[in-house]
A and B are shown apart, each in its own frame.
Chain A
Amino acid sequence: MGNVNVNIDGRKIRVREGSTILEAATANGITIPTLCHIKGQVPSGVCRVCVVEVEGSRTMMGACHTPVAEGMVIHSKSPKVIAVRKVIVELLLTAHTGDCVNDSNAENCALHNLASDYEVGAPHFNVRNPRFYPAEESNPYVKRDMSKCILCRKCVKVCGEVVRKDVLSIGYRGFRSKVVSGFDEALTAEACRDCLKCIEHCPTGALSAPARV
């Protein structure tokens, strides 16, 4: 495969054909935020925070899953992109209903960090039934607090495609969607061992190492 010429934020860039916009940007030191993307894995494109403007395109494009094309002119930080990204972060925050105030790990929450970078305040969308799930602490390796989960599906992906254990899937649909294990039950120590890969990839505090007692 040959190379193609694109323009990102006014910079002329030559990249390998077939790269994604995200890869092209990252390789040239341009940062585009992501929440659901795992480098090297097939993109799922579900979180939408990586949206960018592509001139001539009717809609915004997800940088993590859109391949570059010859002559593409891309804006990753235009006022329009920033405005849209802010709303996306606000929407994600709306469904992220965990107890973050008491969470000693909150500074590691990529969503909160994005919200503060983009100056998104408290979300003002009204939610009829807030997503709430009791935290699951029965597994010795992974504590799951699904109220904080933003359904980025990274844990499902690493567990299935990287670790090849496949103990997590998405259950239900729409607003009720939830990452489930087994028959929607707490992760058992038989099913889930201590690879801790999902914790490493979870962008929020939904998955964490249980406090050692």
Chain B
Amino acid sequence: MVPSKKEALSENGRAGLLPALKDRAGREGCLNRESMSGLAGQYHLPLNEVYGVSTFYAFLPVLPTGKNIIRVCRCLPCHLKDAQAVIGSIKKELGIAPGETSGDGKFSFELVSCIGACDQAPAMMINDKLYGDLTPAGIAEILKSYA
């Protein structure tokens, strides 16, 4: 039987997709239809499969994002350490809610699943940098360093 596209690639191609998506997103800021179609062609996968993988991972931005991406952990340990207050503080500083991008295109704000920094809860990442033990009062200063 002819292997389906997915099977043909299960050995090598599929495994390469995720690093390729990450690389693309890193270089271009976000994954759009064009980059996903390109990778689909390159890895002989249907576009829907590439889209499915991309949208599964919170760290692969699919929609256009701001220059800096703020990702606040919304899992239980951070929640118990009052991540909600930190989220409120970011909202107030930037005037945007989670899922939105600021009008000047500087920041996108997202809530994500555990970022592995439970020991420093509440925690967030801005781009690749981790910020732990956050306080609502300290947010303004951190954001200022990206302005």
Contacts and interface: CB of A to CB of B under 8 A. Distances in A.
A160 B46 CA distance: 10
B52 interface: yes
A9 interface: no
A161 to B, nearest CB: 6
Interface in A23-56: none
Nearest to B56: A173
Q: Is the interface on chain B under 10, 10 to 19, 20 to 34, or 35 or more residues?
A: 10 to 19
Contacts of A168: 48
B75 interface: no
B52 A169 contact: yes
A160 B49 CA distance: 11
A160 B14 CA distance: 15
B106 interface: no
B2 A169 contact: no
Contacts of B49: 166, 169
Contact of A166 (B4, B33, B55): B4
Nearest to A174: B113
A163 to B, nearest CB: 9
B33 A183 contact: yes
A186 to B, nearest CB: 12
B51 A180 contact: yes
A84 interface: no
A166 B48 CA distance: 8
A166 to B, nearest CB: 4
Contacts of A161: 4
B36 interface: yes
Given A167-B46, A173-B56, A184 B4 contact: no
Contact of A170 (B36, B46, B52): B52
Contacts of B4: 160-161, 164, 166
Contacts of B33: 183
A166 B51 contact: no
Given A166-B46, A166-B49, A169-B48, A160 B6 contact: yes
Interface string B1-42: 010111000000000000000000000000001001000000
Given A166-B46, A167-B46, A169-B46, A180 B6 contact: no
B85 interface: no
B56 A166 contact: no
Given A164-B2, A166-B4, A166-B6, A183 B47 contact: yes
Interface string A172-192: 110000001111100000000
User: 10 nearest interchain CB pairs?
Assistant: A169-B52, A169-B48, A166-B46, A171-B52, A164-B4, A171-B55, A169-B49, A172-B55, A173-B56, A183-B33
6 contacts: A160-B4, A166-B4, A167-B48, A169-B46, A170-B52, A171-B55
Given A167-B46, A169-B51, 9 more contacts: A160-B6, A166-B49, A169-B52, A172-B56, A173-B56, A181-B48, A182-B51, A183-B33, A183-B47
